[in-house]
Amino acid sequence: MLDGAEPVDGIDAILNPRAVALVGASASPEKAGGRRWKTLAEGGFAGPLYPIHPKAAEILGRKAYPSVRDLPGPIDLAVIIVPPGDVPQVVADSLAQGAKGIVVITAGFGEISAAGKAVEAELARAVRAAGARMIGPNCAGLFSGPGRVNVVGWETRPGVIGLVSQSGNIALDFADQSRRTGVGFSRSVTIGNAADLKAFELVEYCFHDPATEVVLAYLEGFGPMEGRRLCEMVARAPVAKPMVILKPGRSESGRRAALSHTGSLAGEDRLVEAALRQHGILRAYEVEEAWQAAVMFANRVPMATDGVAVLTDGGGHATLFSDAAGLAGLSTPNLSEATRRALAALLPDRCPIANPVDFAGVAEGEPHVIPEALDICLADPAIGAAVMVGHFGGYERLGGPTMRPLEVRAAEDIAAVFRRHGKPVQVHSVHADSAPPAIQVLRAAGIPVHRAIEMPAKTLRHLLRATQQAAAGRPAAAPPAAPGPAVAMADAVGRPPWLQEPEARALLRGWGVAVPDWRVAATAAACADAAAAFGGAVVLKLIAPGAMHKSDIGGVLLDVRDAAAAAAGFRTLTERAAAAGLGDVRVLVTPMIRGAAELVVGAFRDAQFGPAIMVGLGGVLVELLDDVAFRLAPVTETVAAGMLEDLKGKALLRGYRGRPAVDTRAVPVLLARLSQMMAACPEIAEVDLNPVILADGEARIADARIVLQAGAR
């Protein structure tokens, strides 16, 4: 049960029920209902369990009932494994019997057809109308350690990791990882089509659940606004807990597979990556990586610095791991003079000791040197973690059976060193999969042992980032903003599907965005007067309802030097407008901008994550450079400043090959204010400020385009 918090919208009745019925139970282990009834019946559940079968008198020693309607008492949870056509009636019968939780394992609904989608939507409406909640359909079931409920049909080890998975196969994969590593689940819920209960609601439950210390999720995509709701939930959770998401969709083929599997919307992956990172959620890319990251968080051992000590029984493995560490953003620094002196006293002269520390054949015969060297390395202040790579656990294959007890003793001593220093220790071993006794000792002590040499680097990267995030605390939320006048301004200019540039500039300025001065001219004389008033080179831009992309029809004239040239330019633009069939023509006059660097700044409204902002290098060349950073809106100036740090070409802004650094202090201000506008104006679909020219400490907007949502006018 949840401790000190209200059940999250009825989920507690599903994960901590008092009576359970399994409709479609069977005694046959070959059937889905048989496997799930077995794990449920043998899981230690303390309340009434009712197998439902139309003909059987008893199943695995428990009295069976032909229908939910025939049960002798009420139920909290109904688990349904019947043909798709029978599901609606069984759901109705279960609700009539008092069920507050429904788990539909049956497939054949929204994942295969629009008609199936309609049926599952109606099931969800019926369940909610009865004050109940539903998981599925097309799910694999759930496991609840505190509730002693197991209807996934496979052995599940209790523990502290709360799993929410859109895929039953991935949940089974994590269960296999659990058995191998000895770390288990508080809750493990597969959500399938998620017609009612969504992933973010179950994640929220885990954040309130005292039995859950780490949250792990496999999500193929998000429904409308579900990504934002997940991020906002994590940000406001009463207890900060580590969360790892395994999410595919980085490639086009991955996105197509997600759509065909669950009908999920995978979305722009770079926005997903940025949104998760912005809210302190760690993203993994492989099953083992996600699991091992969760295991490290469950061990609650922080990584204070990025320095890793590498201990090896062979140079090749050390080189491969050091390469992986560098790619993961970790360092393998030279050990201090004091550390090297201590290692030199322990090891023969032939052993390299700078980092990596290579035992050069010593450890295979004297494994006790490993914990002694590890103890010395972990005492070095520059070292935040240690990784052993090579053949540990299999030395008996080299030196014979007498090596087994020596390795086991070394493993016990390694575990003691790990506990004493409180720094993470990981092991790569070519014998990890066979799990000899020494490796079992390490895993029992909370030391991960991997077969893949890259895995310690990948998981330590997550641990370092999580430690840094915990030290920094939760970022301050941007203040809410009042709704803006975008639609009213569009109405004032004839309600086009976008704001023409004068109105776009006015709206931006109303939100505190610094916009260069401009004037609008309806005649050649007015255009000349405007150019003269600015007193320098100006830019002329064609403004007309049909000229969204002005440059396509030659609607922009740069570096116009005087009033006479401005008047001539006005006539040129109106002639081009007439040739393009455009009427109601005006010309915007604004000073010519020159600067040291060009950016593109934008905002848009994502179906899964809502309002977001973007900044990129290159201005008009942004598509060629493809160097952009995203955040969900609104953001503070501090968060916005971090976007510039995400750019691959940030060195160009800091000064490169003798070029002076570019003053970017105005960019976070621009991004923060734009984000406020985007968050407060739901009628805005997209904002494109391109280029934004950096000069003299200012971020000068050379062109502004604001597109409205369909139906906003």
Q: Are residues 521 and 483 in the same domain?
A: no
| Of the residues 472, 498, 529, the one at which a domain ends | 472
Q: pLDDT higher for 625 or 487?
A: 625
Q: Are residues 120 and 184 in the same domain?
A: yes
- The string of pLDDT tens digits covering residues 303-329 is 999 999 999 998 899 999 999 999 999
Q: Is the pLDDT of residue 487 over 60?
A: no
- The string of pLDDT tens digits covering residues 527-585 is 999 999 999 999 999 998 877 778 778 999 999 999 999 999 999 999 999 998 888 89
- The string of pLDDT tens digits covering residues 489-543 is 545 444 558 898 999 999 999 999 999 999 999 999 999 999 999 999 999 999 9
Q: Count CA atoms closer than 13 A to 644's CA, side-chain side.
A: 22
What would the DSSP string read from start to end of 612-663? EEEEEESGGGHHHH--EEEEESS--HHHHHHHHHH-TTHHHHH--TTPPPP-
Q: Are residues 38 and 160 in the same domain?
A: yes
Show the tokens assigned to 604. Answer: 């848009």
- The string of pLDDT tens digits covering residues 90-144 is 999 999 999 999 999 999 999 999 999 999 999 999 999 999 999 999 999 999 9
Number of domains within the chain: 4
CA–CA dist 459, 464 (Å, integer): 9
Identity (one letter) of the amino acid at 339? T
Residue 563 lies in a domain: yes
Closest CA to 263 of 128, 109, 416: 109
Instruction: List CB contacts of 204: < 8 A, sequence separation 6 or more.
Output: 8, 233, 237
Q: pLDDT higher for 237 or 157?
A: 157
pLDDT of residue 10: 77
What is the pLDDT confidence band of residue 482, given thresholds at 50, 70 and 90? Answer: low
Residue 643 lies in a domain: yes
CA–CA dist 50, 77 (Å, integer): 10
Instruction: List CB contacts of 162: < 8 A, sequence separation 6 or more.
Output: 185, 186, 187, 188, 203, 205, 206, 209, 211, 212, 214, 215, 216
The CATH number covering residue 248 comes to: 3.40.50.261
Identity (one letter) of the amino acid at 456? P
| Of the residues 297, 312, 340, the one at which a domain ends | 297
- Which of 203-207, 390-394, 466-470 is predicted with the least confidence, judged by mean pLDDT? 466-470
CA–CA dist 190, 667 (Å, integer): 43
* Residue 161, φ and ψ in degrees, nearest 5: -95, 125
The CATH number covering residue 697 comes to: 3.30.470.20
- The string of pLDDT tens digits covering residues 408-467 is 999 999 999 999 999 999 999 999 999 899 999 999 999 999 999 999 999 999 999 989
Q: Is 559 exposed, middle or buried (0-12, 13-18, 19+ CB in 10 A)?
A: exposed
Residue 1 lies in a domain: no
The number of beta carbons lying within 10 Å of the beta carbon of residue 552 is: 9
Mean pLDDT (whole number) for 260-280: 69
Q: Are residues 451 and 575 in the same domain?
A: no
Instruction: List CB contacts of 261: < 8 A, sequence separation 6 or more.
Output: 111, 167, 220
CA–CA dist 215, 205 (Å, integer): 10
Residue 123 lies in a domain: yes
Q: Is the pLDDT of residue 40 over 70?
A: yes
**Residue 605, H or E segment:** strand 597-606
Residue span of the structural domain in which 408 resides = 301-472
Q: How many helices (H) and strands (E) does the chain have?
A: 26, 30
Q: Are residues 406 and 549 in the same domain?
A: no
The CATH number covering residue 558 comes to: 3.30.1490.20
Q: Return mean pLDDT, the chain.
A: 90
Residue 2 lies in a domain: no
pLDDT of residue 595: 87
pLDDT of residue 300: 87
pLDDT of residue 261: 34
- The string of pLDDT tens digits covering residues 202-227 is 999 999 999 999 999 999 888 899 99
Phi-psi region of 506 (alpha: psi -120 to 50; beta: other; left: phi over 0): alpha
Q: Are residues 253 and 271 in the same domain?
A: yes
Show the tokens assigned to 57. Answer: 């008198």
Q: Are residues 673 and 585 in the same domain?
A: no
CB 42 within 8 A of CB 156: no
pLDDT of residue 484: 56
Q: Are residues 581 and 648 in the same domain?
A: no
Mean pLDDT (whole number) for 229-243: 90
CA–CA dist 131, 54 (Å, integer): 28
- Which of 27-36, 196-205, 235-244 is predicted with the least confidence, judged by mean pLDDT? 235-244
Q: Are residues 234 and 253 in the same domain?
A: yes
Q: Are residues 345 and 412 in the same domain?
A: yes
- The string of pLDDT tens digits covering residues 129-168 is 999 999 999 999 999 999 999 999 999 999 999 999 999 9
What is the pLDDT confidence band of residue 711, given thresholds at 50, 70 and 90? Answer: low
Q: Is the pLDDT of residue 470 over 50?
A: yes
Residue 113 lies in a domain: yes
pLDDT of residue 2: 53
pLDDT of residue 58: 95
Q: Are residues 451 and 565 in the same domain?
A: no
- Which of 41-45, 266-270, 320-324 is predicted with the least confidence, judged by mean pLDDT? 266-270
CA–CA dist 138, 156 (Å, integer): 20
Residue 425 lies in a domain: yes
Q: Are residues 24 and 172 in the same domain?
A: yes
Q: Is the pLDDT of residue 262 over 50?
A: no
pLDDT of residue 328: 94
Strand partners, 689: 601, 704
Q: Is the pLDDT of residue 257 over 60?
A: no
Q: What is the pTM of this model?
A: 0.88
What is the pLDDT confidence band of residue 469, given thresholds at 50, 70 and 90? Answer: confident
| Of the residues 275, 297, 319, the one at which a domain ends | 297
- Which of 25-29, 109-113, 255-259, 361-365 is predicted with the least confidence, judged by mean pLDDT? 255-259
- The string of pLDDT tens digits covering residues 274-306 is 999 999 999 999 999 999 999 999 988 999 999
CB 554 within 8 A of CB 506: no
Helix, strand and coil percent figures for the chain, each rounded to 5:
40, 20, 40
Residue 6 lies in a domain: no
Pairing of strands 214-218, 158-165: parallel
pLDDT of residue 480: 66
